[in-house]
């Protein structure tokens, strides 16, 4: 019996159409007389979820929920992508933050510059790094949202969503 034409209802039943038994003929209404006409037709088949499993090749939310190997792979890949993004943003922020004291130590003239009686190094350390941290935070948030959208599209594509 071919597997195409199967669907799952909201109650969990798998329904579909399949050729009827034998040579796909169904006796016409009115009895099984030798003279009655024979119709060819299709028979509606209904399975309960505990009777048959419909296999699918598309990873879905159930793979994540049921802790399957595919679901574990998806979750591990997602966490790995988030870790890579976190380390990249951390490296950028630390590199820029740590580079200023190094530059100040290598170029002593930078430490002697003052603005309104306050050393430039204190102004930079106190105020200049906050916009950098905000920019890195904005970039991280934007990229993390995109990772989540990609995962959602992978496990629950718009074509399978009921509202799409």
pTM (predicted TM-score): 0.56
Residues comprising the chain, all counted: 164
Q: How far apart are CA 125 and CA 143, in angstroms?
A: 27
- My answer on whether 72 and 94 are in the same domain is yes
- My answer on whether 67 and 43 are in the same domain is no
Please name the residues in contact with 17: beta carbons below 8 A apart, sequence gap of 6 or more.
5, 42, 43, 44, 45
- My answer on whether 123 and 77 are in the same domain is yes
Does the residue 160 lie in any domain? no
- My answer on whether 128 and 72 are in the same domain is yes
- My answer on whether 12 and 68 are in the same domain is no
- My answer on whether 10 and 71 are in the same domain is no
Does the residue 163 lie in any domain? no
Planar angle of CA 53, 55, 60, nearest 5 degrees: 110
pLDDT at residue 13 is higher than 60: no
pLDDT 10s digits, 57-89 = 556 666 667 778 888 888 899 999 999 999 999
- My answer on whether 68 and 122 are in the same domain is yes
Q: How far apart are CA 60 and CA 154, in angstroms?
A: 8
Q: What's the pLDDT band for 140 if we cut at 50, 70, 90? A: very high
Does the residue 32 lie in any domain? yes
Does the residue 55 lie in any domain? no
- My answer on whether 105 and 140 are in the same domain is yes
Q: Are 18 and 45 in contact (CB under 8 A)?
A: yes
How many domains does the chain fold into?
A: 2
- My answer on whether 144 and 111 are in the same domain is yes
Segments forming the whole domain that contains residue 28: 6-47
- My answer on whether 20 and 74 are in the same domain is no
Query: Which comes out higher in pLDDT, residue 39 or 105?
Result: 105
- My answer on whether 69 and 39 are in the same domain is no
What pLDDT was estimated at residue 1? Answer: 43
Does the residue 144 lie in any domain? yes
Q: How far apart are CA 124 and CA 106, in angstroms?
A: 16
- My answer on whether 78 and 23 are in the same domain is no
Q: How far apart are CA 158 and CA 69, in angstroms?
A: 23
């Amino acid at each position: 019996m071919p597997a195409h034409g199967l669907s799952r209802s909201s109650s969990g039943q798998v329904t579909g159409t399949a050729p009827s038994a034998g040579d796909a003929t169904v006796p016409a209404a009115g009895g099984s007389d030798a003279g009655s006409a024979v119709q060819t037709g299709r028979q509606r088949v209904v399975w309960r979820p505990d009777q048959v499993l419909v296999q699918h090749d598309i990873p879905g939310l159930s793979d994540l929920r049921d802790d399957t190997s595919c679901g574990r792979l998806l979750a591990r890949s997602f966490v790995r992508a988030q870790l890579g993004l976190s380390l990249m943003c951390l490296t950028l922020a630390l590199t820029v933050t740590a580079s200023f004291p190094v530059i100040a130590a290598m170029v002593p003239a930078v430490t002697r510059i003052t603005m309104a009686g306050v050393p430039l190094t204190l102004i930079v350390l106190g105020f200049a790094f906050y916009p950098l941290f905000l920019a890195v935070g904005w970039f991280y948030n934007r990229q993390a949202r995109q990772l989540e959208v990609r995962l959602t599209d992978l496990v629950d594509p718009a074509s399978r969503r009921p509202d799409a």
